[in-house]
Amino acid sequence: MKDLAVYVSVLRLGLSAALMYRANFLFTAGLTVVVGVSVQLFLWGAVYGWGQHASIAGMPFGQMALYIALATLSLGLTRSGRVERMVAEEIRTGELVRYLLKPMAHAPYVLTMALAERLVSFPVVLLAALVALQVVLPEAPAPLSTGERLAWAVPFWVCGMVLNFLMGLGISYVAFWLDEVWTLHVVKDISLWFLSGQLVPLSLLPNGVRQLSEWLPFQYMAYVPAGILAGLIPEEALPLLLVRGVGWSILLSGIVALLWTTGLRRFGAYGG
């Protein structure tokens, strides 16, 4: 119970930090989503020939527009934040020693701070997704109702956030061996653009690439939640996708724990 109270305090601290600059957050997040969606819709509008093609691979432009908006929102929500990336700098400068003296484990502490960041943006993404569904839904009918889609999308959003967090924290823990890991974070972000399904639905990729992407964890950051909401993923496929997502979470958790325990043996902080 005492440990729980500690992490609740950390969560409150993280929420206070995330809400410190509310106007800046809303403007930056809103501008990023609006610009990203607008550019994507312009490009896909050109691909569809501005109405000359009724559909591409059986997907009408209305459904594609809905998917693009939701994929951009999903990736923005699940993308790793500044907390995970700061860990690498703290390892490099020796500031990590501050956390080793606190009555809490490091990874859960960072997870709690990252959760605080996500809690601020989650209601905004949920509201935007609901609006997008209500606007475009008549053009993209599917067996699931709006409420059922959102109910299925939420656990996959959570899964995507956990997976992205674990990948980001794992990369930061590589700083125990390398002086600079920022490039690795950039490579991961670029990989997300292509493999998460933000740029193009994974269902439209060639069979070999699509089958490979179905086994990778990147799809949970954008394609799976957006595909559920846009009606691209059948309901019967969702339980297996969720099981795979949980499996990836367990595997990455083990890798992160191994990096932490192994790297901590090499860590040294001197002076003060």
What does the DSSP assignment read for 206-265? -HHHHHHHHHSGGGGGTHHHHHHHHT-S-GGGHHHHHHHHHHHHHHHHHHHHHHHHHHHT
pLDDT at 242: 93
d(C-alpha 14, C-alpha 25), whole Å = 14
pLDDT at 138: 47
Query: Do residues 221 and 74 touch, judged by C-beta distance below 8 A?
Result: yes
Residue-by-residue pLDDT tens, the chain, 272 positions: 556 777 778 778 777 776 666 665 666 566 666 777 777 778 888 888 776 667 777 788 888 888 888 888 888 778 766 777 788 888 888 788 877 777 777 888 888 888 887 777 777 766 766 666 666 554 444 556 677 888 888 899 999 989 999 999 999 999 899 888 888 888 888 888 788 888 888 888 888 888 888 888 999 999 999 999 888 888 889 999 999 999 999 999 999 999 999 988 887 665 54
Angle at 104 between CA 158 and CA 99, to 5 degrees: 100
d(C-alpha 128, C-alpha 74), whole Å = 10
> What DSSP string describes 116-175?
HHHHHHHHHHHHHHHHHHHHHGGGS--SS-HHHHHHHHHHHHHHHHHHHHHHHHHHHHGG
Segment 177-183 long-range contacts (CB within 8 Å, at least 24 positions apart): 177/263, 177/266, 179/92, 180/92, 181/88, 182/85, 182/88
Tokens 């490039």 correspond to: 183
Q: Check the CA dihedral 33-38-43-47 and report its sign.
A: positive
In the chain, the amino acid numbered 66 is: L
d(C-alpha 29, C-alpha 26), whole Å = 5
Q: Could you tell me the residue ranges of all domains in the chain? A: 2-264
Measured from the Cβ of residue 68, the count of other Cβ atoms closer than 10 Å reads 26
Residues 6+ apart with CB under 8 A from 228: 144, 149, 152, 153, 156, 238
> What DSSP string describes 46-69?
HHTTTTT-SEETTEEHHHHHHHHH
pLDDT at 256: 93
In the chain, the amino acid numbered 36 is: G
